Structure 1
Amino acid sequence: MEILELLPSSFGYVILTYLYSWIMLCYLGIKVGGARKKYDVKYPTMYSDKDPVFNCIQRAHQNTLEVYPQWLVFQTIASLVYPTSAAVLGAIWVTSRFSYAWGYYTGDPVKRMQGVYGYIGLFGVIILTISVALQLLGVI
């Protein structure tokens, strides 16, 4: 049996969400690379003692990388049973990471909270993942 026969057609939205997240990660990485040049922060130095704006740009990327593996796991599990809902929640989370980064890029770390709505997407796929687990265990 082929994979296309096993997955619902709406799983294509999930795949597009994964691609969207890849674009987001590339964008954040490119912004850090540009900031390294602009603020003269050489590798392997992670943070600058002189330029807090560089640190904000770097931190926006680093924080996203810290949560990304967990999001991928929850997104994948939720998507197996609830592909459309998971894709929408995933798109919310990915979009919020742009808002989070743009707020952080101002140099005022408080403005990173512009991306706080991403918790709707993250907690949403976590709840769907719990639902999948409970269904598999026969609890619901």
Structure 2
Amino acid sequence: MVAIDFLPADFGYVLLCIVYCLIMNVYLAIQVGKARKKYEVLYPTMYSDKSQMFNCIQRAHQNTLEQLPVFFITLLLVGLAYPKFAAICGAIFVTSRFSYAWGYYTGDPKKRLNGTYGMAGLLGLYVGLIYLAFRQLGCFDAYLP
């Protein structure tokens, strides 16, 4: 018996991807907290006038937060129809956010590009959502059994 009957049986993979994303977000937030102490950047200041290193650590987290709403929406919607596909795309995206942050943490903002492979996961979710929209509208009815 599944916990929530109306969800696909494999939707647990999507939920695990969300847990993975939450872990990643907490990790990035902790790094910002540590950097605030180390570089003496007090709340509510978002960025430092004195420390480029702090700004890199803060920006890695901030950029990730900016992307999460769209990521979660597409992950959940695509996951309703294709849970394994959505979870794989989601895991690629979340893993890339670690690479993105670690590149930024070097102090060289160009190294954040180490995480650009995550766009493949996000693009997969976007294409999946577009496909679902057209399928829901019946555009493929003549081609599907």
TM-score of the superposed pair, with normalisation by structure 1: 0.96
State the alpha-carbon separation in 2 of the partners of residues 103 and 24 from structure 1: 15
State the alpha-carbon separation in 2 of the partners of residues 51 and 122 from structure 1: 32
Runs of 5+ consecutive residues of structure 1 not aligned to the other structure: none
Matches within 5 A, 1:12-51: 12-51=12-51
Q: Residue 91 of structure 2 corresponds to which residue in structure 1?
A: 91
Shift of 1:8: 2.0
Shift of 1:3: 6.4
Q: Does residue 55 of structure 2 align to residue 58 of structure 1? A: no
Runs of 5+ consecutive residues of structure 2 not aligned to the other structure: 141-145
- Secondary structure of the 1:128 match is helix
Shift of 1:9: 1.7
Q: Alignment identity in percent?
A: 57
> Which residue identity is paired with 1:128?
G
Shift of 1:117: 0.2
Shift of 1:30: 0.4
| Richer in helix (by share) | 1
State the alpha-carbon separation in 1 of the partners of residues 76 and 123 from structure 2: 14
Q: Does residue 131 of structure 2 align to residue 131 of structure 1? A: yes
- Secondary structure of the 2:19 match is helix
Shift of 1:98: 0.3
- Secondary structure of the 1:38 match is helix
- Secondary structure of the 1:63 match is helix
Q: Residue 79 of structure 1 corresponds to which residue in structure 2?
A: 79
Cα distance per residue 1:68-95 (max 9 Å; x no partner): 1011111111101110000000000000
Cα distance per residue 1:49-79 (max 9 Å; x no partner): 1110000000000000001101111111110
Matches within 5 A, 1:81-120: 81-120=81-120
State the alpha-carbon separation in 2 of the partners of residues 132 and 37 from structure 1: 46
Aligned-CA RMSD value: 1.1
Q: Does residue 83 of structure 2 align to residue 67 of structure 1? A: no
Q: Provide runs of 4+ in structure 1 moved above 3 Å.
A: none
State the alpha-carbon separation in 2 of the partners of residues 44 and 7 from structure 1: 41
Q: Residue 8 of structure 1 corresponds to which residue in structure 2?
A: 8
- Secondary structure of the 1:48 match is coil
State the alpha-carbon separation in 2 of the partners of residues 47 and 118 from structure 1: 25
State the alpha-carbon separation in 1 of the partners of residues 86 and 133 from structure 2: 15
TM-score of the superposed pair, with normalisation by structure 2: 0.93
State the alpha-carbon separation in 1 of the partners of residues 3 and 78 from structure 2: 17
